[in-house]
Structure 1
Amino acid sequence: MRAIILCAQIFFAISTGANEMTDPVTLHMGENIILDNGLVQLGIREDGNLQELSLRGGPNLASSGYWNSNGNGYDEQGAPIAQKFAVLKGDAKIVRQSDELVEVAFVREPAAPFFFRTALHYVLRRGEPGFYIYMTAAHDAQMPAGSITQYAYNLRLAPQHFDYIAVDDTRRHISHSIEDEAAADRVMDATFGFADGRVVSKYDYTHAIEDGDFNLYGWAGPQAGVWWIQASGEYYGSAPFRVLLTSHQTAKTPIIIWQAHCVHRGGYEIEFRPEDETDWQKIYGPAFIYLNDGGDYDTLWNDAKGQATTIVKKWPFAWMEHALYPRERGEVTGQLDFDDGTPAADAWVVLAPEGEHWSHENRGYHFWSRTDSQGRFNVQNVRPGRYGLFALGADQFFEFERSGVAVAAGGETALGRLSWERVVRGRRVWQIGTADRSTGEYAQGDDFHHWGLWRRYPSDFPQDVNFVIGKSREREDWNFAHWNWYSQNNAWNIVFDLDGKPKGKAILTLGIAVARGHNARGFGANDRAAELQVWVNDRQVGLVEVESTGGDSYRSARQSTRYSVREINFDAEWLSRGENVISLRHALAHPYTEGEEKGERGSGPGCIMYDAIRLEIE
């Protein structure tokens, strides 16, 4: 079988000879195609599957690297058929060849089960300690209808050479082995219980884009470190509030995953129904795979962090040549104020293709930034085009939106001062949390990368949640997730005093960051809405139904792309002078003891995660 082999070697600059840093990238045509820059060795099969990854002539560090998809087509009646996972294979094509760079692409035409034209590119550059990967996808009216639920690249590493996993400064450590995982008890997908009581899940190592640390993750061992570096996340749909898989252990190999597109945690399919004749194409990446050696694990990790900083600063890459990749970009600047003149500090500013809400859009590219203390923002490296601008967070339940933001190559789109209307329903009585799309300020909200956090609830809240306004603390007394399994009572109570008997209308606003329904037995169900009863002083005043955001609650998340706001209006006279109680109760709930067996296994109960809750009186 004809193979394509890219060869090179890499190690730290302090141990690299000058000739190795200046070797040209060479191409040798024969039974195999060989590329060599004097630093890294790569061996790629003729269909695009990576077979070799070695450092300075050392052992093969890779088990395999493959481009893959998950999606579906449609039957003759136009109904979607079942999704299928596929390892993609393409035909090899030499795209560019010079002393400075060689680029090899593997091109796949639309075919079952993935009806998109796709390509995987490997790029090797002169003098660089690593290689680049990028992917493209395209669909037009001549192709069968289809959808993309996942488009990814998986790099499996040789298990004998890697024992240290790292995804950020906090989550980096010696990992359990493939043998440990093979012998462990499977709890749910990619989640295993060990004899010592630990439960380890691939979801414990996810990255949330909005946390700002999604640029770097990987593995290290005595031979080398292998690190995945993303300079930009512009190609992620529904960004920036996305949660992505990174590195984890499996029963076969350590793995690094690049989820260029995925529906996990509130994302949406890229869908082309039979009646959709849109011509579409998109580029994902490039990402840089960096190799290093020559130090202990702390040294390797810190060096990789430095390399990631360097790569990010180089975006967009000057060497990149592709019709879908504009090197010349623009920027969007402005100042965001509330309508009372105060600055909208620490707000998210998101640019998404015009015509659709940012949380649903995934065919195009997204760009984002945060406002400073004065409300000023600067969104950089924006592709030329027309965008909608959205602002969210800053303790606001409702977003700011402006359409018609035109960005030109090399130019600045200066929007000046923008006014964001504060939605005020009346006099604020109290608020729990900050409306910032996250539950990070609550109990366990700052330590959520663990499977089965519902198991801690009975010990953390043996009397359930009884939050007293003015006395209780959010970090200690309000759990980050309201499970539908309870300790003593199916009620989270908010207790507060009023100086007098109010009149008029009261408005209770719930910002909901995550929702997951539950079935008749009380266990979580991703396809069911969550139902919540709202009671005021033992009187039910509302029933809230929230569409499920998916598997966020059991996959180590504290927010989702799919955010919702519910306002419950009730007669303020139902409140009393003195003590009042507002109770939040799951419509379907069970004592924790009834769910305990399932609580030790599987995906646990349904839940609602509250971003913030506010009571106002007109």
Structure 2
Amino acid sequence: MPPIGVNLTLQDRYVVVDNSILQVTLSKPEGMITGIWYNGVDNLMEILNKETDRGIQGTQFKVIMESEEQVELSFARTWDSSLSGSNIVPLSIDRRFVMLRGCSGFYIYAILEHFEQWPAFSMAEARAVFKLRKDKFHYMAMEDNRKRIMPMPDDRSPPRGKQLAYPEAVQLINPINPALKGEVDDKYQYSCNNEDNKVHGWICSDPPVGFWQITPSNEFRTGGPVKQDLTSHVGPICLAMFISTHYAGVDLEVKLKSGEQWKKVFGPVFIYLNSTYEEGDPRNILWEDAKLQMKIEQGSWPYSFPASEDFFRADRRGFVSGKLLVRDREKGDVEITAESAYVGLALPGQAGSWQRESKGYQFWTRTGPDGSFSIENICIGEYGLNAWVPGYIGDYLYDKTITITAGCNIDLGDLVYEPPRDGPTVWEMGIPDRSAREFYVPDPNPLYINKLYVNHPDRFRQYGLWERYTELYPKDDLVYTVGVSDYAKDWFYAHVNRKKEDNTYAATTWQIKFTLKQDQLAGGRLYKLRIALAAAKDSDLQVRINDAKASPPHFSTGTIGGDNSIARHGIAGLYWLFDVDVQNSWLVEGENIIFLTQARSTGPFQGVMYDYIRLEETQASDPRKKDANEYPLQPSIVFVALCRHEAT
């Protein structure tokens, strides 16, 4: 027998959609999901949550499509000039709900539009939030090694819970589940890169039911593949994040000017419900089934069912392919395949601007062993082709704008990225992968742990690691000696401030010691220091060479960064690359010292995370050395963005 068709029932204040597998009730015209019936449970949603406290509410309801195969509903709200001065943002918001025949779940998407005649405004966050029943859902899963029984929301409030350095972080003093006593709960401990944020959710044990948020494509998310964001957390909350400044700061706000026309479709994402009565651990069975469904949804992208003409179906998309190679001049005129490189299309801009781009769609992939790549299902429009290669600093940008038309198949052939380099490497530390993961991440304070991350690859997600620096270096700061020290053991993962006895904070200065021989200084030889940062929060990184008190410093980034990755248990935020031209007169024969000072020190979360540091020779006048033409001098490129600062 074929599955029973979809049935729509319109009531005075509610609309009910039912396909015999599940039934969903939404308020009308607000569009709030007030009830989900599934597998004998009369409502999976938190019934104690007030309907008036559920986010943006629609003012116009419309049935877009109604058949046995599909029901699509619209809950919209449009801004007009009478709302000027109110707290209602100048956007047209059309929230869509879709249920299909025989489908164990439903789809949601949203169309946001700003018209030319509307005022300017900035949008820091857009998301869909599902709050489930706290008496039913206690187990959360987001990755094979990141799933566990979670605290109850009551555990986060006094006297059961104690707030720590910021509201999101709470120590469980007397939790309902005594096995969780003493642990720290913080929603940011469950953040995830966009590229990995595909399926997450919650499991109810009685009856065994899973509630999952599946994202089949990242094209509508902001910030690119390695931008982090929230998933699920105590509530029980399940999130679909579309726009956010998490791990980025105001650089990723959608900033719309007066007179600017803008429209974008977010989603669809799939809310999948599953159940099991098989023998074995139901939590594992439901999680594995959810991962399988995620692959099915990815294989179905782009969906054919959305009724809105604003959604780009398969016949309004194109294809781009090519091969990425790397030519690093230190290795001569040799082209190396860029294996596992990130290649993506984003709105046209400068090299690296994709990570701060928030208005358009982005399409990313990874290259194969031979550097080849193919990007499918690209929405029609104009794009810049970007890439970055783990193991090399900087960003690649194709020198032409790429125009995607319906059904196009563009082969770009061989593309060659020449990473920044003026001369041979004198010394280097770290791995240029836009992360501080390879550096020393300390054990957490045993009083503040999350048991999930004990003996876990993501040990950096433990609470309070920034405080360990003061414990490890109570008086004197970190000193790293090239050729002797090991950055995996001797270079702290975050350059943070030192906490003083009066609970104020002091700036810290780290040292890199290295030796130069006489012939390395002969002939007025010059050098360049390249500093790649994996993250920055309200920081001013100052560089001094062999003079700890040089005023002004030999180089300063100025105040940069708002990603808050230190407090939010990240290992990366926005990527920064700085070049420092090192004059010969600053250097001496024998031991030299680079002093790195993070000069802003009003709180514990200001600081930077280093990705990679390299000293390279930029001039070789000694004929016994390499020909200077092999490393032609280039103008120093320093990228500094001015930004406001995101509060903790």
Which residue of the partner structure matches residue 434 of structure 2?
A: 437
The one of 21, 44, 51 equivalent to 1:39 is: 21
Greater alpha carbon shift after TM alignment, 173-182 vs 482-491? 482-491
Which residue of the partner structure matches residue 11 of structure 1?
A: none
The one of 213, 218, 225 equivalent to 2:201 is: 218
* Mapping of residues 191-206 of structure 1, within 5 Å: 191-195=169-173, 196-206=181-191
Which residue of the partner structure matches residue 642 of structure 2?
A: none
Residue 530 (structure 1) aligned with residue 545 (structure 2):
no
Which residue type is aligned with residue 39 of structure 1?
I
Residue 615 (structure 1) aligned with residue 598 (structure 2):
no
For residues 506 and 604 of structure 1, the distance between their equivalents in structure 2, rounded to whole angstroms, comes to 34
For residues 574 and 486 of structure 1, the distance between their equivalents in structure 2, rounded to whole angstroms, comes to 32
The one of 455, 462, 466 equivalent to 2:467 is: 455
Residue 259 (structure 1) aligned with residue 237 (structure 2):
no
Greater alpha carbon shift after TM alignment, 500-509 vs 328-337? 500-509
Paired residues of 1:502 and 1:572 also in contact (CA < 8 A): no
Query: Could you say if the C-alpha distance between residues 558 and 90 of structure 1 is closer, same or farther in structure 2, counting changes exceeding 3 Å?
Result: farther
The one of 65, 77, 94 equivalent to 2:63 is: 94
Report the Cα offset of residue 29 of structure 1: 4.1
Residue 239 (structure 1) aligned with residue 224 (structure 2):
yes
Paired residues of 1:66 and 1:154 also in contact (CA < 8 A): no
Identity %: 29
Indicate the SS of the match to 1:160: coil
User: Runs of 5+ in structure 2 lacking a partner?
Assistant: 174-180, 328-332, 442-456, 501-505, 619-648
Deviation per CA, 1:130-189: give whole Å up to 9, x if none.
111101100112334333221111100010001111222222101111221123122213
Paired residues of 2:543 and 2:594 also in contact (CA < 8 A): no
Which residue of the partner structure matches residue 365 of structure 1?
A: 361
Report the Cα offset of residue 120 of structure 1: 1.0
Query: Could you say if the C-alpha distance between residues 237 and 26 of structure 1 is closer, same or farther in structure 2, counting changes exceeding 3 Å?
Result: same
Report the Cα offset of residue 228 of structure 1: 0.5
Indicate the SS of the match to 1:122: strand
Which residue of the partner structure matches residue 512 of structure 1?
A: 533
Residue 496 (structure 1) aligned with residue 514 (structure 2):
yes
Greater alpha carbon shift after TM alignment, 481-490 vs 259-268? 481-490
Indicate the SS of the match to 2:247: helix
Paired residues of 2:187 and 2:232 also in contact (CA < 8 A): yes
Deviation per CA, 1:196-229: give whole Å up to 9, x if none.
54322111111112xx320111111213111100
Report the Cα offset of residue 30 of structure 1: 4.6
Residue 190 (structure 1) aligned with residue 200 (structure 2):
no
Which residue type is aligned with residue 604 of structure 1?
P
The number of aligned residues is 553
Residue 320 (structure 1) aligned with residue 306 (structure 2):
yes
Tell me the TM-score normalized by structure 2. Answer: 0.80
For residues 446 and 306 of structure 1, the distance between their equivalents in structure 2, rounded to whole angstroms, comes to 24
Report the Cα offset of residue 394 of structure 1: 3.1
Which residue of the partner structure matches residue 340 of structure 2?
A: 346
Paired residues of 2:15 and 2:25 also in contact (CA < 8 A): no
* Mapping of residues 13-32 of structure 1, within 5 Å: 22-31=3-12, 32=14
* Mapping of residues 149-164 of structure 1, within 5 Å: 149-164=124-139
Paired residues of 2:346 and 2:361 also in contact (CA < 8 A): yes
Which residue type is aligned with residue 255 of structure 2?
E
Query: Could you say if the C-alpha distance between residues 291 and 515 of structure 1 is closer, same or farther in structure 2, counting changes exceeding 3 Å?
Result: same
Which residue of the partner structure matches residue 305 of structure 1?
A: 291
Query: Could you say if the C-alpha distance between residues 148 and 574 of structure 1 is closer, same or farther in structure 2, counting changes exceeding 3 Å?
Result: closer
For residues 560 and 100 of structure 1, the distance between their equivalents in structure 2, rounded to whole angstroms, comes to 44
For residues 531 and 76 of structure 2, the distance between their equivalents in structure 1, rounded to whole angstroms, comes to 48
Paired residues of 1:51 and 1:62 also in contact (CA < 8 A): yes
Which residue of the partner structure matches residue 473 of structure 1?
A: 486
Report the Cα offset of residue 537 of structure 1: 6.5
More strand, by proportion: 1
Paired residues of 2:319 and 2:377 also in contact (CA < 8 A): yes
Deviation per CA, 1:516-560: give whole Å up to 9, x if none.
23xxxxxxxxxxx42324333757433332412332221122222
Tell me the TM-score normalized by structure 1. Answer: 0.84
Which residue type is aligned with residue 596 of structure 2?
L
Deviation per CA, 1:448-497: give whole Å up to 9, x if none.
22332212324556664333333433322222211122799933222333
Indicate the SS of the match to 2:297: helix
Report the Cα offset of residue 381 of structure 1: 1.6
Paired residues of 2:507 and 2:597 also in contact (CA < 8 A): no
Paired residues of 1:386 and 1:407 also in contact (CA < 8 A): yes
For residues 383 and 461 of structure 1, the distance between their equivalents in structure 2, rounded to whole angstroms, comes to 52
The one of 540, 545, 555 equivalent to 2:558 is: 545
For residues 324 and 166 of structure 1, the distance between their equivalents in structure 2, rounded to whole angstroms, comes to 33
Which residue of the partner structure matches residue 229 of structure 1?
A: 214
For residues 192 and 52 of structure 1, the distance between their equivalents in structure 2, rounded to whole angstroms, comes to 30
Which residue of the partner structure matches residue 560 of structure 1?
A: 573
Greater alpha carbon shift after TM alignment, 430-439 vs 538-547? 538-547
Query: Could you say if the C-alpha distance between residues 298 and 534 of structure 1 is closer, same or farther in structure 2, counting changes exceeding 3 Å?
Result: farther
For residues 499 and 557 of structure 2, the distance between their equivalents in structure 1, rounded to whole angstroms, comes to 19
